[in-house]
Amino acid sequence: MSPSPDARVEALLRDLGSRLRRGGSHEAARQASGGRRHATGLADVDALIGGGFPAGRLCEIAGPLSSGRTSLALALLAQATRAGEWTALVDAADALDPASAQAAGVALERVLWVRPQDAQQAARASARLLELRGFALIALDLAPTRAQSPLPDAAWQRLARAAAASGTSLVVLAPRRIAGAHSALSLETRRARAHWSGTPALLDGIEIEAEVTRRREGPARVAAVRLRAASRAA
Amino acid sequence: MAPSVGSSRIACLLVPDLPRAAALRAHPDLAGRPFAVCAGAGPRAEIASASEEAIRLGVRRGHTVAEARSLCASLAVHVASPALEEATRAALLDAALSCSPRAELEPRCAGAYAGEAAVCADASGVTPIFGGEAGFATALTQRAAALGLPARVAVASSRSTARIAARRIAGDGETLLLAPGDEAEFLAPLPIDVLDPDDALAERLTRFGVHTVRDLLRLPRASLAARLGPAAVALGLLARGHCALPPPGAPAEALVAEALDLEHPAERLEPLLFALQALLSRLLARLEVRHLACDELALSLELAGGGRDARRIGVSAPTRELRVLVRLVAQSLESRPPHAAVQCARLETRGVPLRRDQLDLFRPPGPAPGALAPALAELASLCGAARVGAPAVADDHHPDAHALREFGPASRDAAPPEPAGTFLLALRALRPAAAAEVRLRAGHPIWIRSAVCSGRVLRSAGPWRTTGGWWSREGRFAFDHFDVQTEDGTVARLRYDHVTRGWQIDGVYD
């Protein structure tokens, strides 16, 4: 005799066990993404952020000009595209320099470069790409604005949910943290010093500091790391 | 040398009433209802063709629309559309090409057979695939039916005999096979009209007492030419099963087109899109029967007032998905609507093999090509077509130059680039370059004011001169670049523009 519907439900609940919890969208995202992380290829930074930016999450790289956030973003894209992943750059700031990206090791043919005219278009474009699926990583580069955040809180919430549903890493680049509590991981960068050498002097590179200022999972506070971005390949 | 009945076998796929078939194909809801196709608009237009249901109610070819409506009040009347009929003939050819690599449209006839559409296909060597000529003929009728075309098929040893035989078939979907050598016996008892002589020759033959093909064959060949002319000689050859036309050849390219004359000019997008969706559906059905896909659409709209709107709609990957193509067409029309009402629409595509993506076990699959095309089209309509694509390094010395390539799965097999090996400092471009006010000492900047950075210059390097485009007044450029670090901590790329004689910041090292 087949078990009753109640018995079947009970058996299912027992099987699910601790995986079943209220508000389990984050758990679902972690499971959907298989716990994957996208590394930058920079050992110190990757150790700082727990191995990489988590898949299926909205994350941030925030810092003023010349603090290395663009260099970190290109390093992230380079790692992903070299591994064969498809990526997208929603460039509301229209700031991508293809020559810099290529020098950083980014496989340009695996990057979809979208240049929206404003933050609202950028949000719509990002949402569409998340809905499309198939992109491992989407970088959203927002131009600086006077407002606290170029997008309302509801837009960040929708983007975070869309990232969770698609298993894509959505990394927001901005002069300061703007995604609030919707960011699973916020990496802030600061300028340390610029290096010049030679006669006549040439720019050797910029030393930057990177610190995790928000993390939903893992240690709450980790010491900042300092690294140097060189203006020329070794 | 007279053409001979050789060892070739030809199948003729024939639709006896092209206007009716074209109307039914465009409006499947007419099936089972009394309808007629007329030569023009208005109550005095003549009926050119009518459905079986209308014929049973007394409607005949030659009646006016008013007369026909008096016999059948519920008669649906459609104006004949040359564009639709051409597309229907082309669809018949597609049905034939789905079974045989060599097929051609037969020339249109005048007179009694003016309303038919016929295609001849090479039926040689069909046994391994179709099990014989009977299976081949059945497959042809089925493929035509799949495209909404009620056709009949005859197989003979020459094009003309096959076409004559197809005309003798009673019903749609039926087939007739004439064994080699049986052509003359088949043709002999048939009335002379099956050979389609012109009116003058037909009258003269009747006066000579020639009523059947057998009667014609009894006439001495020598006197046929002398008394009735070369047209009668040609008719005699047809009567013997000979055909001057060569066997059908393979088409040069797979160009598939569907067209429609709108009965009422479409002023709004909604009815136009509705009509275009039906066109796309028929187009895709033809591509599917030939195992082809669409990689680009050419949409041509004839507008009220004589204007024309022609546009190309690219598809990122060959597809046969109606939903994807409808969306692309809709986005194209919404972003650039026609400037007048649309009277006629034509969609054309060059059929290409459907690309099967070979997934790699060791690489991520990426976005589905079928879903990518409409997404890229949406992004292009949102941000601008020139602002969506894969970045590329421009082959240009201008510092602002950058290139955009088509983004798609075609580059799946590209080799990954070499790793940088070092954490490289990136340049963050400023587009457009930000104007700056600069003070110099000994030719080097010592103070900057701009929206990007301001203050005293702590360190600088340069200048490096870049020039180009000297052959063009509009394209010439000359810049002196500096790398500068200002006291607010920003490290930027500053340039002096010799053409505009102004300072700009065109990038920030970040």
pLDDT in tens, B338-380: 999 999 999 999 888 876 665 566 667 788 767 787 788 788 8
Token representation of residue B111: 């007179």
Interchain contact, A116 vs B402, CB within 8 Å: no
The answer, for B128 touching chain A at a CB cutoff of 8 Å, is no
Query: DSSP of chain A, one letter per residue?
Result: -PPPHHHHHHHHHHHHGGG--TTTHHHHHHHHHTT-EE--S-HHHHHHTTTSEETTSEEEEE--TTSSHHHHHHHHHHHHHHTT--EEEEETT----HHHHHHTT--GGGEEEE--SSHHHHHHHHHHHHHH---SEEEEEPPP-SSS-SS-HHHHHHHHHHHHHHT-EEEEEESS--SGGG-SEEEEEEEEEEEEETTTTEEEEEEEEEEEEEESSS-S----EEEEEESS--
Cis peptide before B251 (omega within 30 of 0): no
pLDDT at B252 over 80: no
Alpha-carbon dihedral A5, A11, A14, A20, rounded to 10 degrees: -40
Q: Chain B: give the shortest CA distance to residue A184, in Å.
A: 24
pLDDT at B2 over 50: no
Q: Chain B: give the shortest CA distance to residue A104, in Å.
A: 5
**Nearest-Cα residue of chain B relative to residue A81:** B416
Query: Would the ipTM clear 0.90, i.e. be above it?
Result: no
Residue from the list B393, B419, B421 with its beta carbon closest to the beta carbon of A99: B393
Tens digits of per-residue pLDDT, B156-186? 998 989 999 999 998 889 999 999 888 888 9
CB atoms within 10 A of CB A102: 18
The answer, for A95 touching chain B at a CB cutoff of 8 Å, is yes
The answer, for A8 touching chain B at a CB cutoff of 8 Å, is no
Contacts of A205 (CB under 8 A, 6+ apart): A194, A195, A228, A229, A230, A231, B425
- Do A90 and A125 contact (CB within 8 A), yes or no? yes
Token representation of residue B123: 């039926």
Interchain contact, A109 vs B405, CB within 8 Å: yes
Residue with the two structure tokens 């790289």 = A61
Q: What is the DSSP-derived secondary structure letter of residue B429?
A: E
- The mean pLDDT of B84-94, rounded to a whole number, is 93
Give the pLDDT of residue A221: 56
Q: What is the mean pLDDT of chain B?
A: 88
Residue with the two structure tokens 């879903």 = B371
Residue with the two structure tokens 């798609």 = B408
pLDDT at B99 over 60: yes
Tens digits of per-residue pLDDT, B284-298? 999 988 888 888 899
Alpha-carbon dihedral A125, A129, A132, A135, rounded to 10 degrees: 170
Q: How far apart are CA A182 and CA A57, in angstroms?
A: 9
Report the candidate in B292, B192, B281 with the shortest Cα–Cα distance to residue B236.
B192
Give the pLDDT of residue B361: 63
Interchain contact, B424 vs A103, CB within 8 Å: yes
**Nearest-Cα residue of chain B relative to residue A85:** B364
- Do B489 and A190 contact (CB within 8 A), yes or no? no
Percentages (nearest 5) of helix, strand, coil residues in chain B? 35, 30, 35
Mean pLDDT per block of 10 residues along chain A (234 residues) reads 78 67 44 74 89 94 94 95 92 94 92 93 94 92 76 92 94 93 93 88 90 78 74 68
Give the pLDDT of residue B251: 81
- The mean pLDDT of B482-494, rounded to a whole number, is 94
Interchain contact, B390 vs A109, CB within 8 Å: yes
Token representation of residue A205: 């590179």
Tens digits of per-residue pLDDT, B378-405? 888 788 878 999 999 998 889 888 899 8
Give the pLDDT of residue B341: 93
Which of A97, A188, A189, A195 to mutate to test binding with chain B, by most B CBs within 10 Å of its CB?
A: A97
Q: Chain A: give the shortest CA distance to residue B387, in Å.
A: 5
Please, which pLDDT band fits residue B501 given cuts at 50, 70 and 90? Answer: very high
Report the candidate in B96, B26, B36 with the shortest Cα–Cα distance to residue B63.
B36
Among B149-158, B222-231, B330-339, the range scoring the smallest mean pLDDT is B222-231
Interchain contact, A66 vs B510, CB within 8 Å: yes
Helix (H) or strand (E) holding B441: strand B427-441
Q: How far apart are CA B405 and CA B416, in angstroms?
A: 17
Interchain contact, A194 vs B378, CB within 8 Å: no
Helices (H) and strands (E) in chain B, counts: 15, 20
Among B32-41, B228-237, B444-453, the range scoring the smallest mean pLDDT is B228-237
- Do B38 and B63 contact (CB within 8 A), yes or no? no
Q: How far apart are CA B452 and CA B447, in angstroms?
A: 13
Q: How far apart are CA B159 and CA B121, in angstroms?
A: 9
Interchain contact, B367 vs A86, CB within 8 Å: yes
The predicted model scores a pTM of: 0.65
Which of A40, A42, A100, A209 to mutate to test binding with chain B, by most B CBs within 10 Å of its CB?
A: A100
CB atoms within 10 A of CB A156: 20
The answer, for A81 touching chain B at a CB cutoff of 8 Å, is yes
- For residue B360, the chain A residues in CB contact (below 8 A) are 84
Interchain contact, B375 vs A97, CB within 8 Å: no
Report the candidate in B469, B479, B471, B472 with the shortest Cα–Cα distance to residue B500.
B479
CB atoms within 10 A of CB B62: 9
